[in-house]
Amino acid sequence: MQTETEKHPRPTLPLLALLALASALGVAVAIALAGVAMLLAAPAYASQSETKEGMLYLRARGADPVAAPLLGTEVLFRVSGPVARARVVQTFRNPHDVWYEGLYVFPLPESGAVDALRLVVGSRIVEGEIRERNVAKQAYAQARGAGQRAALLDQERPNIFTTSVANIGPGETVVVELEYQQVVRYDSGRFSLRFPMVVGPRYIPAAPLQVADAIRITPPVMRPGTEGERTNPVAIQVMLDAGVPLAAVESLHHRIEVKAPSESRREIVLAGGSTPANRDFELAWSPRAAALPQAAWFTEEKDGKHYGLLMLLPPAAPRTARLPREVIFVLDTSGSMGGASIRQAKEALELALARLQPQDRFNVIEFNSFAHALFDAARPADPDNLRAATRWVRALDARGGTEMASALHLALDGADDPEHVRQVIFLTDGAVGNEEHLFGLIRARLGGSRLFTIGIGSAPNSHFMTKAAQLGRGTFTYIGRVDEVRSRMGELFAKLETPVLKAVQVHWPAGGAVEAWPTRLPDLYAGEPVVLVARLDRLEGEVRLEGERNGTAWEARMPLAHNANAEGLGAVWAREKVGALIDSLREGAPEAEVRARVIALAEAHRLVTKYTSFVAIDKTPARAPEEALKLAEVPTLLPEGWDYAKVYGELPRGATDSRLALLLGTLAILLGLVAMRRFT
């Protein structure tokens, strides 16, 4: 170029001038436009104050994030061997000068047995009582009307609860304490404890599959950027006694501080004290390899009965020649998956695609408001098809509704093909409100397929994940961050590719009265233990388990004599039984009968269930009848990593660029005319 311009110096000058002129013109136009835009925009922004009157009205329509009691939560876990007991303290503070009734929708682990509630007002402590749900509701409403402080705890889903607190006076603080019991998860050599903190916004499909209680599971959500001090801070403390020497303790999503008073004990608190309630807390610990428990039997004596918990890990199966598989991947691309979740899901899916062997067949289904399959039918996992699938998956974006039923219809056909192991791998956050309808669908159409759920994101619906996997005779996996994808998927691949332990039967000693749950044990995948809770009248003899894996018989025995103590097994057993009774509804058991049995069990063990609630009433009247009471729902945070606009959509865009076009056009024509005059 350099040499050319030297050869022809003459044309260079006008060319440069032309360029300079053009850029000068461009700058001038830009400045003029910016000036005009600013002139026009400034008074318009200032006029916002003119609309103050309306602002009051609009904000009062249930959307004012400020006019509600403030909430803080403290959680204390005591983990003893396989059992965890949690105390959750919810502090409602009313900084306003009106009386409030606060309503807070929050999640708890789906397997938790909630067996205590206390209302604390100043120095007074009122113990809650278990009542039938509508009886509790009436007692609460009566106390509310009489100006008494009262608390009500209802179960909306096995993992969604609502606390109602009546008559929180101006400037007052009212505390609600609840406790629950659960068995910690043991899988692939790792124990884990999950504490959910926020109910992610749920998709409620339109009629005819109405979700009758939609309003009770969809709390108001604070728009990111408007939270202010309202982050619903949660402080967590865990007193961990593993019972065996520990190799590692880790918190998957929060920074923690750990003290180690002994080899088997740890004391854990959140670094910085508390965290906004916007994602699940997950703590995982692994015993040293030598101390890895193969079998354990814990017992508790309560009211003349023995309660026992059996955890037994079958020996690892040797890897054998695998049967060809047909793998159907189902990817949730609804609005709630927008942001971090869809990236995690796509990465997990690409890893799984890369893992397929040439003799396998596969297909990919994505769904939001509609479901689409990549291929008409499953195709061989040859390089061409895999390349096409990878390209297709990469291009997917998350938006729209969560019509999961149509995806399940596509993925499950009820067929049973003896030539192939058919595995459906379902990647979703489970942000739906019609769980029961979907469970019915899985039950009806499963056939010979196996359903594996992968819970994606910061606040997956764990009730959906576990129950769908149970009904689908598969397993569930959680992926909360992109950097967990590889290790969690690795564990899942081991489960998918090694033979399962099937037809597991339990034989209790003859002569004793034993009631154990679950009655039908699931198929066990690599790394999964047998977990049983039983009520026994005496601790004698031994329990024998048998099963079959890859045509080979398996047997294990465990003496029932008292060995290690674990507190709260009675509540765990009752919770398991309630779960089994509710499951029987899905198999057609009459609701009236199930309801009566659940209520009897819940009253005996003081449990919150679908049919029973806790109510606590402080008899001292607080609010005078002439003072008004305002109902306010405590707003919740959007789960971390979610994209607000993708979940809720936006208001219609109400402008064209016609004015910009007219202005630009006018300016350009004027400049053009000026240029014409000057240069001709």
Applying CB under 8 A, the residues found at the interface with another protein are 18, 21-22, 25, 33, 36-37, 40-41, 43-45, 47-48, 51, 53-58, 61-63, 220, 223, 644-645, 648-673, 675-676, 678-680
Name the minimum Å distance from CB 632 to another protein. 15
Q: Give the three-state DSSP class for 385.
A: helix
DSSP for 323-359?
Answer: PPEEEEEEEE-SGGGTTHHHHHHHHHHHHHHHT--TT
Nearer to another protein, 77 or 644 (CB): 644
User: What's the CA gap between 346 and 338, in Å, rounded?
Assistant: 12
Name the minimum Å distance from CB 678 to another protein. 8
Specify whether the CB–CB gap between 432 and 202 falls below 8 A.
yes
Closest CA relative to residue 375, chosen from 326, 421, 322, 448: 326
Nearer to another protein, 401 or 448 (CB): 401
Closest CA relative to residue 471, chosen from 367, 371, 582: 582
Specify whether the CB–CB gap between 266 and 260 falls below 8 A.
yes
Specify whether the CB–CB gap between 562 and 536 falls below 8 A.
no
- Amino acid at the residue 11: P
Name the minimum Å distance from CB 311 to another protein. 47
Name the minimum Å distance from CB 37 to another protein. 5
Name the minimum Å distance from CB 20 to another protein. 12
Closest CA relative to residue 90, chosen from 201, 220, 235: 235
Specify whether the CB–CB gap between 219 and 105 falls below 8 A.
yes
Count of CB atoms situated within 10 Å of the CB of 382: 11
Q: Report the Cα 565 to chain-centroid distance in Å.
A: 32
Closest CA relative to residue 567, chosen from 85, 143, 217, 231: 85
Q: In what order do the strands lie in the sheet containing 246-251?
A: 185-187, 190-195, 281-287, 246-251
Name the minimum Å distance from CB 231 to another protein. 19
Name the minimum Å distance from CB 649 to another protein. 6
Tokens (6 digits) for 377: 């039918």
Q: 329 has which bridge partners?
A: 364, 425
Nearer to another protein, 63 or 323 (CB): 63
Closest CA relative to residue 387, chosen from 422, 346, 354: 354
Specify whether the CB–CB gap between 622 and 613 falls below 8 A.
no
Name the minimum Å distance from CB 652 to another protein. 3
Q: Give the three-state DSSP class for 360.
A: coil
Name the minimum Å distance from CB 414 to another protein. 33
- Within 47-156, residue ranges assigned H as helices are 52-60, 133-145
H or E segment and range at residue 41: helix 9-46
Name the minimum Å distance from CB 675 to another protein. 4
Name the minimum Å distance from CB 55 to another protein. 5
Tokens (6 digits) for 471: 């009904």
